[in-house]
Amino acid sequence: MIWDKKYETMPRSELADLQGQRLRAIAEKVYDRVPFYKAKFDAHGVKPSDIRSIADIAALPFTTKDEMRDVYPYGLLACPLSDIIEIHTSSGTTGKPVVDAYTRADIDLWGESMARTLSMGGAGKDDILQNAYGYGLFTGGLGAHYGAQRIGATCIPISGGNTKRQLDFLRDFGSTALTCTPSYSLYIAEAGREEGIDFEKLPLKRGFFGAEPWSDNMRAEIEEKLKIKAYDIFGLTEIIGPGVAAECECQNLLHVFEDYYYPEIINPDTGAVLPEGEKGELVFTTLTKEGTPLIRYRTRDITYITRDPCPCGRTHVKMHRLLGRTDDMLIIRGVNVFPSQVEQVLVKAEGVEPHYQLIVDRRDNMDCLEVQVEMTENLFSDELKYIEQKEKEIEHQLKESLLVHSRVKLVEPKSIARSEGKAKRIVDKRNI
Amino acid sequence: MNQVQQLSVFLENKAGRISGVSAILKENDINIRALTIAESQNYGVLRMIVNRPDKALTVLKSAGFVVKKNPVLAVEVDDREGILHDIMKLCGSAELNIEYLYSFVEQVSGKAIFFMRFEGTEAAEKVFSENGFRLLSEEEVCLI
């Protein structure tokens, strides 16, 4: 069902007018209240009064993640701190975390966004929603929670992990909807099969999966194993969390809630806005956020958008699931990992040359990361126990830095392929 | 000093890796006196005693292998029942910590040779000498 018929099915011309008004208002607000944006607008030679329609958005400067870090923690606040009722941050694996600070209205906005998302997959007040996204700073848990409450579903805040209990709850409480990462849903399916659970006999009907890359093949597998409909949902902490875009019942591309979060696709090299249908870097502007509004935030994710009419009746633009990155970021078990982080750890580790390769694979539906490091004379010993100890030390340091477990494998010198002198850093074997 | 130089080479645990080492030794006319491999799941350490350890070290390194030279003791004993126990008893009472050992039997002389790596090589050398064990020198090992 359509949660917010007025806005989700608004005729496109009307929607564009609304977006234009909202953009002007948010531009004025950040110019007046956020010194960071005033300086940016001034340097860019643009005034909020230059914004007369949504098309004028291209005149505004971009915001990058690095800039957000520079003004950590409160530099992007567009309201008094006393109006903020909740704060979330990114994991901060590559430096200072980026901060999303929510006013009461922002939490409502988030709940509305997730209510739309859950309604798209047919969830409503009669649903029992088992929320297996992690609760905490990670936006997945509370985002799905607020959405479930907004639609009046019965939310079970079980959080991630403890698969045995997930299975018990699915059975005992008769959960009808499941929210978690797609890979975890398959993990639950597998564990359930081993326990002899017949998912055909469970009331579970639908699942809302996101926070990591997946595919139509994986969807087919999830739907077959759990006997449910599986919907792709999308969001990012910088913008609000989950609830930025989601699949409708057509399960064909994700509607972006563009009355709240305005998407653009740009050429990552020139910054030029690309025509509909062309692949490029995804950029978002929050049109209504109060706490930490963002203007033209560069996600570094690559995809395309289309305004082709959708049979569901919603008029909102659709985006393809992410097709890649403009940088070399990997998402491993929902955690963002950059090769440069691995390099920093290796450079600091005694006796290690930063000749390494990251092998990412998915085994038993869980992402696993292997860090291959070339053996050096300093690291080598005739005694295995010293080598093993070194491996453990590096593994420990990587865990501290990446926040995700990896397995270190020492390999022979020069065995990591070098192309034009520069090693190929990533081998992603995940067949998703 | 009756210590013997042992070479250790890092090898990944996959097919054909030892032949990489043996090819280089063959090309350079280096004779292996003893050899053993310690292995973990992903890699192995090839330990060997060769007739020209310095030459072998140089050629293996220049071929890109990670190689180390470490002192071990070559303890020559009669090939008879209970000799291992005698050695272990001595190590135990002298509190010598053995990292690892490997051995072989020399058929012509009827002697057995234990290559032993200790935490402290000098201390071990002293204990064995004082207790009447014969330690082979580098030259003697090459002549076996």
Asked if residues A167 and A197 have their Cβ atoms less than 8 Å apart, the reply is yes
Q: Which among A376, A388, A412 is the nearest to B11, CB-wise?
A: A412
- Domain range list for chain A: 5-327, 332-428
Q: Do the chains contact at B6 and A382, CB–CB below 8 Å?
A: yes
Residue listed under structure tokens 């030390």: A393
- Chain B touched by A411 (CB under 8 Å): yes
- Chain B touched by A381 (CB under 8 Å): yes
Whether the predicted pLDDT of A431 surpasses 80: no
What was the pLDDT predicted at A432? 63
For the segment A108-114, the average pLDDT, to the nearest whole number, is 98
Residues in A closer than 8 angstroms to B99, CB to CB, are 383
Residue listed under structure tokens 């890109």: B64
What was the pLDDT predicted at A232? 97
Q: Do the chains contact at B11 and A382, CB–CB below 8 Å?
A: no
Percent of chain A with pLDDT over 70: 97
Query: Which one of A370, A375, A382, A386 would you mutate to disrupt binding with B, by most B Cβ within 10 Å of its Cβ?
Result: A382
* Residue A161 φ then ψ, to 5°: 80, -175
- Chain B touched by A53 (CB under 8 Å): no
Interface residues on B facing A, Cβ-Cβ cutoff 8 A:
6, 8, 10-12, 17, 38-40, 42-43, 45, 47, 64-68, 70, 99-100, 117
- B21: closest CA of chain A, how far (Å): 13
* Residue A168 φ then ψ, to 5°: -60, -45
Kindly state the tokens that stand for A253: 């591309």
| C-alpha–C-alpha distance, residues A98 and A25, integer Å | 24
Per-residue model confidence as pLDDT tens digits over A272-318: 999 999 999 999 999 999 999 999 999 999 999 999 999 999 999 99
Kindly state the tokens that stand for A108: 């409502």
Q: Which among A380, A383, A414 is the nearest to B64, CB-wise?
A: A414
Q: Do the chains contact at A383 and B11, CB–CB below 8 Å?
A: no
What was the pLDDT predicted at A280? 95
pLDDT bin (cut points 50, 70, 90) of residue B13 is confident
- B42: closest CA of chain A, how far (Å): 7
| C-alpha–C-alpha distance, residues A105 and A124, integer Å | 22
Q: Do the chains contact at A382 and B70, CB–CB below 8 Å?
A: yes
- Chain B touched by A380 (CB under 8 Å): yes
Its pTM stands at 0.74
For the segment A221-243, the average pLDDT, to the nearest whole number, is 96
Reported CATH class of domain A5-327:
alpha beta
Q: Do the chains contact at A413 and B47, CB–CB below 8 Å?
A: no
What was the pLDDT predicted at A15? 98
What helix, strand, coil percent values describe chain A, rounded to 5? 35, 25, 40
pLDDT bin (cut points 50, 70, 90) of residue A350 is confident
Q: Which among B12, B38, B70 is the nearest to A412, CB-wise?
A: B12
Per-residue model confidence as pLDDT tens digits over A7-22: 999 999 999 999 999 9
Q: Do the chains contact at B66 and A375, CB–CB below 8 Å?
A: yes
* Residue B10 φ then ψ, to 5°: -80, 130
Virtual CA dihedral for A277, A278, A279, A284, nearest 10 degrees? -70
| C-alpha–C-alpha distance, residues B37 and A207, integer Å | 52
Q: Which amino acid is at A357?
A: Q
Q: Which amino acid is at A423?
A: A
Q: Do the chains contact at A387 and B40, CB–CB below 8 Å?
A: yes
What was the pLDDT predicted at A94? 66
Whether the predicted pLDDT of A39 surpasses 90: yes
What was the pLDDT predicted at A398? 93
Q: Do the chains contact at A380 and B8, CB–CB below 8 Å?
A: yes
User: Cα dist. A47→A24, A37, A213, A358, B116 in Å?
Assistant: 10, 11, 38, 45, 80
For the segment A76-85, the average pLDDT, to the nearest whole number, is 98
Nearest CA among A14, A68, A6, A79 for reference residue A40: A68
Residues in B closer than 8 angstroms to A388, CB to CB, are 40
Nearest CA among B41, B65, B61, B18 for reference residue A414: B65
- Taking one residue from A and the other from B, the number of pairs with CB-CB distance under 8 angstroms is 50
Architecture of domain A332-428: 2-Layer Sandwich (3.30)
Q: Do the chains contact at B42 and A413, CB–CB below 8 Å?
A: no
What was the pLDDT predicted at A419? 54
Q: Do the chains contact at B68 and A377, CB–CB below 8 Å?
A: yes
| C-alpha–C-alpha distance, residues B57 and B49, integer Å | 11
Q: Give the full edge-to-edge strand order of the sheet including A297-303.
A: A261-266, A280-286, A297-303, A324-325
Residues in A closer than 8 angstroms to B64, CB to CB, are 412-414
- A372: closest CA of chain B, how far (Å): 11
For the segment B6-21, the average pLDDT, to the nearest whole number, is 91
For chain B, domains (ranges, CATH) are 4-69 (3.30.2130.10), 71-143 (3.30.70.260)
In chain B, the residue whose alpha carbon lies closest to the alpha carbon of A372 is B42
Nearest CA among A349, A428, A426 for reference residue A395: A349
- A367: closest CA of chain B, how far (Å): 20
Query: Which one of B9, B10, B57 would you mutate to disrupt binding with A, by most A Cβ within 10 Å of its Cβ?
Result: B10
In chain A, the residue whose alpha carbon lies closest to the alpha carbon of B65 is A413
| C-alpha–C-alpha distance, residues A356 and A226, integer Å | 38
Residues in B closer than 8 angstroms to A357, CB to CB, are none
Average pLDDT score over chain B: 92
By DSSP bridging, strand A305-306 and strand A318-319 are antiparallel
Q: Which among B11, B40, B70 is the nearest to A388, CB-wise?
A: B40
Per-residue model confidence as pLDDT tens digits over B86-130: 999 999 999 999 999 999 888 878 899 999 999 999 999 999 999
In chain B, the residue whose alpha carbon lies closest to the alpha carbon of A375 is B66
